[in-house]
Chain A
Amino acid sequence: MAVLSTLEVLIDRPEALAAYEKPAGLGRAGFAGYFAGTLGLFMFLRLQAMVPPGALSLLAMFFFVLAANFLFAGVIHLFMELTGADPAPRGGAARLFQAFGCTDFLLAALVPLGFLHRANVFNGLLGFCACILVLLWARVRLVRRLYPVSGNKALLAVWLPYAALTALFFVGLVYGLAWFVWLLV
């Protein structure tokens, strides 16, 4: 219930996030959000039989999500500081990380979407993409709450780590493919 109270505060008074004192239970709510979001994503992927079953599989995904978001929050905060956007009163990477966790509650919607996909009444990929877009939108809003920046800069900051990782992935993929072709041909 404490988590619900924190979420209620964040929804009704989003300015509380940027207050000198962080909202009570933000850390707890953030971790609960990460877990609920990971569980939603895990169940969505399990419904499509795309991930191995078991608690270990879920935990591995959970720790990956935590690590990735920790990195993302750090990178975004660094980007903001480097570009001169000082965080509002007591913001920072830690608060950003916890707040990102609250946005991960949105991924819980993937569970019913997975159902609808299995029932062939809804395109699962479309739902997944929609969920990710809503998540990004919520994160952009969060960043704007914590840092005095424009919407475009907040969007750039949120998208930056994803874009960097995507670029790295594709560079690795292309290099790997070229290497593989060289080995085989």
Chain B
Amino acid sequence: MEEQNIGGAAPQAEEPRKTAVQTPAPGGTRVWLKLIAGLYLVSLVAAFALIAKADAVKKTRAKEMDISKLSALTKAKKDAVGVVEIYGAISQGSSSRSWERGSQQIARKIAEVAAEKEVKAVVLDINTPGGSVGAVQEIYSVIRRAKLETKKPFIARFGEVSASGGYYVASACDLIVAQPGTITGSIGVIFSVANFEGLMKKVGFKSEAIKSGKFKDIGSPTREMTPEERRLLQGMIDDSYAQFVAAVAEGRKMPEDKVKLLADGRIYTGRQGLENGLVDKLGDLQDALDAAGEMGGIGKKPRIVRETAPFEQFLSLMDSRLQPFGTKAMADALGATPSLEYRWDGR
């Protein structure tokens, strides 16, 4: 249909109409349009002014002259402080479940954040009562390695609780910032084992172990612990304790004798920790970030890079939803074996 219109006599017939279309009709339309355009421009200018004023009010705050801000201007805009969260009891996660927050995953996150070029300092946001010795030491060693390789400062920030293994991890950092009321300390090792012998006798349940050596079922909950086993376990605990003390002494640059005086397992508030040299500074997360910014040479109020893995968080949520009635947690609790722990059990 269109071809016929184009190819036929239509173009000639349309010629007069085209000429007429191109010529604006005389009248008041143009005046009105100009008036509306003018009003639009005026309202635009006024809107810009209003928005600029509103934005300026938002930004206006009491400002302090801070030299570090000037030096920060010369730095690349991308410079940032990395934040890694260590929340909850620390344990070895399953390597096949990348979304679990086990020590392996935390260690990997720390290494990844520290390796990022834009990250000039790393803040560990710690809120944990500790955990198993191996898992805690895994995180501790990755911090030390990252510090050695990247030469970046690490800052530990304590939240509600950062005791035992939480403090072990923090001792590898260059600065520890805690709230005045943070529960910290609890430097020590614990090995707890339940004894169900009496209960099992009552219900008529008997368990027997056929073992290759006399210590093979050490820590068994079905019988009383022998003095020999107790001595053996005490030796292990003393050795792990010595490792803890050595780590704190090295990290805090404190003589081991002084650390031992503080390390009888007691807990401290953040303020007591500051008095005893276990904590460097009292403050909140922002103080820790500011300190990290300054130590990283990018000034206060630095840009923050968080180790976020939305996909893993989603998988974690899915995993928890797909466990009917928390059966996994129950199975984990029942299957738990006694182990050496840098952990405070006071909560």
Determine whether the beta carbon of A12 is less than 8 Å from that of B25.
yes
Within A1-32, which residues are at the interface with B (CB < 8 Å)?
4-5, 7-9, 11-13, 16, 19-21, 23-24
Q: Say yes or no for B210: interface residue by CB 8 A criterion.
A: no
B65 to chain A, nearest CB (A): 27
Q: Say yes or no for B17: interface residue by CB 8 A criterion.
A: yes
A20 to B40, CA, bound (A): 33
Interface size on B, residues (CB 8 A): 34
Determine whether the beta carbon of A112 is less than 8 Å from that of B43.
yes
Which residue in chain A gives the minimum CB-CB distance to B321? A183
Determine whether the beta carbon of B55 is less than 8 Å from that of A11.
no
Determine whether the beta carbon of A115 is less than 8 Å from that of B24.
no
Q: Say yes or no for B145: interface residue by CB 8 A criterion.
A: no
Which residue in chain A gives the minimum CB-CB distance to B34? A4
Proximity string of chain B (69-101) to chain A, C-beta cutoff 8 Å, 1 when within and 0 when not: 000000000000000000000000000000000
A112 to B20, CA, bound (A): 36
Determine whether the beta carbon of A12 is less than 8 Å from that of B43.
no
> Which residues of the partner chain A approach B318 to less than 8 Å between Cβ atoms?
183
Other than the known A4-B33, A21-B18, what 17 A-B pairs have Cβ atoms closer than 8 Å?
A7-B33, A8-B33, A9-B24, A9-B25, A19-B21, A20-B10, A20-B17, A20-B18, A23-B22, A39-B44, A40-B40, A46-B47, A47-B47, A53-B55, A114-B47, A115-B50, A183-B321
Determine whether the beta carbon of A111 is less than 8 Å from that of B18.
no
List the 5 shortest-distance A-B pairs measured between CB atoms, nearest first. A20-B14, A16-B21, A12-B25, A111-B43, A21-B18
Determine whether the beta carbon of B51 is less than 8 Å from that of A46.
yes
A46 to B58, CA, bound (A): 14
Interface of B toward A, CB cutoff 8 Å: 1-2, 5, 10-11, 14, 17-18, 20-22, 24-25, 27, 29-30, 33-34, 36-37, 39-40, 43-44, 46-48, 50-51, 54-55, 317-318, 321
Determine whether the beta carbon of B11 is less than 8 Å from that of A20.
yes
Query: Chain B at the A interface: mostly helix, strand, loop or mixed?
Result: helix
Proximity string of chain A (73-104) to chain B, C-beta cutoff 8 Å, 1 when within and 0 when not: 00000000000001001100000000000000
Q: Say yes or no for A142: interface residue by CB 8 A criterion.
A: no
- Among B10, B18, B55, chain A packs the most CB atoms within 10 A around the CB of B18
A20 to B7, CA, bound (A): 13
Determine whether the beta carbon of B14 is less than 8 Å from that of A12.
no
A40 to B5, CA, bound (A): 40
> Which residues of the partner chain B approach A46 to less than 8 Å between Cβ atoms?
47, 51
Determine whether the beta carbon of B40 is less than 8 Å from that of A108.
yes
> Which residues of the partner chain B approach A43 to less than 8 Å between Cβ atoms?
44, 47-48, 51
Determine whether the beta carbon of A13 is less than 8 Å from that of B47.
no
Picked from B10, B21, B321, the residue with its CB within 8 Å of the CB of A23 is B21
Determine whether the beta carbon of A111 is less than 8 Å from that of B44.
yes
Proximity string of chain A (113-135) to chain B, C-beta cutoff 8 Å, 1 when within and 0 when not: 01100100000000000000000
Which residue in chain B gives the minimum CB-CB distance to A185? B321
Determine whether the beta carbon of B37 is less than 8 Å from that of A4.
yes
B112 to chain A, nearest CB (A): 27
> Which residues of the partner chain A approach B321 to less than 8 Å between Cβ atoms?
182-183
Which residue in chain B gives the minimum CB-CB distance to A17? B21
B9 to chain A, nearest CB (A): 12
**Contacts A/B (CB < 8 Å), 26 sampled:** A4-B37, A7-B33, A8-B25, A9-B22, A9-B24, A12-B25, A13-B20, A13-B21, A16-B21, A20-B10, A20-B11, A20-B18, A21-B18, A21-B21, A24-B22, A40-B40, A43-B47, A46-B51, A47-B47, A111-B40, A112-B39, A115-B43, A115-B47, A118-B50, A182-B321, A183-B321
A12 to B17, CA, bound (A): 15
> Which residues of the partner chain A approach B25 to less than 8 Å between Cβ atoms?
8-9, 12-13
> Which residues of the partner chain B approach A154 to less than 8 Å between Cβ atoms?
none
Q: Say yes or no for A140: interface residue by CB 8 A criterion.
A: no
> Which residues of the partner chain A approach B40 to less than 8 Å between Cβ atoms?
36, 40, 108, 111
Picked from A13, A21, A53, the residue with its CB within 8 Å of the CB of B51 is A53
> Which residues of the partner chain B approach A111 to less than 8 Å between Cβ atoms?
40, 43-44, 47
> Which residues of the partner chain A approach B54 to less than 8 Å between Cβ atoms?
49
A108 to B41, CA, bound (A): 10
A2 to B191, CA, bound (A): 86
> Which residues of the partner chain A approach B20 to less than 8 Å between Cβ atoms?
13
B332 to chain A, nearest CB (A): 22
